[in-house]
Amino acid sequence: MIKSINIIFQIAAVFIGTIVGAGLASGQEITQFFTAFGYKSFIGLIICMIMYISYSFMIINLSKKHNLNSYKDLINLVSPGFLGKITDILTSFFMISGAAIILAGSGALLHQYFGIPSLIGILLMSITALIILFRNTKGLVEINSFIVPSLLIIITTIFLLYMFFSGHAVNINHIKTIPYNKNYWFLSSIIYAGFNILSFSGVLVPFSQDVKNKKHLIIGTSLGALGLTILSLMINFMLLTNIPYIFNYDIPLLYIANRFGKIVQILLLSIIWFEMFSTEVSNIYSVSKTLEQSFKISYNKAVICIIMLSIPISQIGFKKLINFLYPAFGIISFIFLVQCIIFYRKNI
């Protein structure tokens, strides 16, 4: 019984740790995809939770039934034609580019706030990621089992401090009067959920082979989706009641945390770095599992190749690439989700 509960919580932690990333922990992703749409952002986050649970259920069942080992297997199964090949290439490209950008971002974060040279920050994350990734699925579980509870504690603490010291923020009528973008809130929610689901499938598919009990996987991912949604709702609430000031900051949540002193700021910055690390490990793990299968090279060699590729790429400016890559990946993800539903209804 205790072992089962432990496995479920580990799966939930990996789910949250893979999706959160630095973008969500800093408040930047929530600001762009949800908060900008006012009070409807809360509905958008609930829609995402429903999609996370539904698609995780489908991916687990498909992975078990068809003995899938990587996101490439899933894409080939659901979308075997030309569109599937494009989805596969874009997904791999997105994850490798993401790994490189996270390295660059971690170096910049450590340099900007702690005075550590950027290159040292990049090498520190690369070497630590290598050590964790060599432990394969165990390493992924271990790192998220530490990072995710820390994230939940820190964000909840900031939220409680904010509620205690900002009594006006709980006024629902005030939230309804905040200016917001009335258009595309539903589409924004669907696209955000889409590329998170496709990204997480890179971890969930191999996980479905490592964890034999399907019930554990379904309960774990559902618990993870619930935990992630509660976390996102807290962040969104704080950001929404600080419009328009949050739009001026790269780390909107830091603007809110600033009022609670240096210790809270440092804790938040630390957890953002750890979430960068968690996403870095998840991205490299996903692509390595695919390379292992596609090119018949060992998993460890694949990990080394991707990290060695990511370090020099992290030195290049990627703003233009990301401006193209994120919308393109969002559209491809949305199409893939539709194909996934059609395939599932026909074959399960």
Q: Which fold has domain 2-347?
A: Hydantoin permease (1.10.4160)
- Across all residues in the chain, what is the average pLDDT? 86
Give residue 280's pLDDT.
87
Give residue 316's pLDDT.
65
Give residue 325's pLDDT.
65
Residues 197-236 have pLDDT tens digits of 988 998 899 989 888 889 999 999 999 999 999 999 999 9
Give residue 155's pLDDT.
93
State which H helix or E strand residue 246 sits in: none
| Coil, strand or helix at 179 | coil
Residue closest to 11 by CA, chosen among 45, 65, 74, 53: 53
Question: What share of the chain in percent tops pLDDT 90?
Answer: 36
For the chain, which residues make up each domain, given as ranges?
2-347
Q: How far does CA 93 lie from the centroid of its chain?
A: 16
Torsion, CA 175, CA 241, CA 44, CA 192, rounded to 10:
160
Amino acid identity at 216: H
- Contact partners, residue 283, CB within 8 Å, separation at least 6: 95, 96, 98, 99, 102, 199, 202
Residues 262-292 have pLDDT tens digits of 899 889 888 888 888 888 898 899 999 888 8
| 333 touches 84 (CB < 8 A) | no
| 268 touches 253 (CB < 8 A) | yes
Distances (CA, A) of 325 to 29, 89, 93: 15, 12, 9
Question: What share of the chain in percent tops pLDDT 70?
Answer: 91
The Cα–Cα gap between 142 and 106 comes to 21
Range from 168-177, 238-247, 299-308, 322-331 carrying the lowest mean pLDDT: 168-177
CA gyration radius, the chain: 19
**Cis ω before 312 (30° cut-off from 0):** no
Residues 101-118 have pLDDT tens digits of 788 777 877 777 778 888
Per-residue pLDDT band for 318 (boundaries 50, 70, 90) equals very low
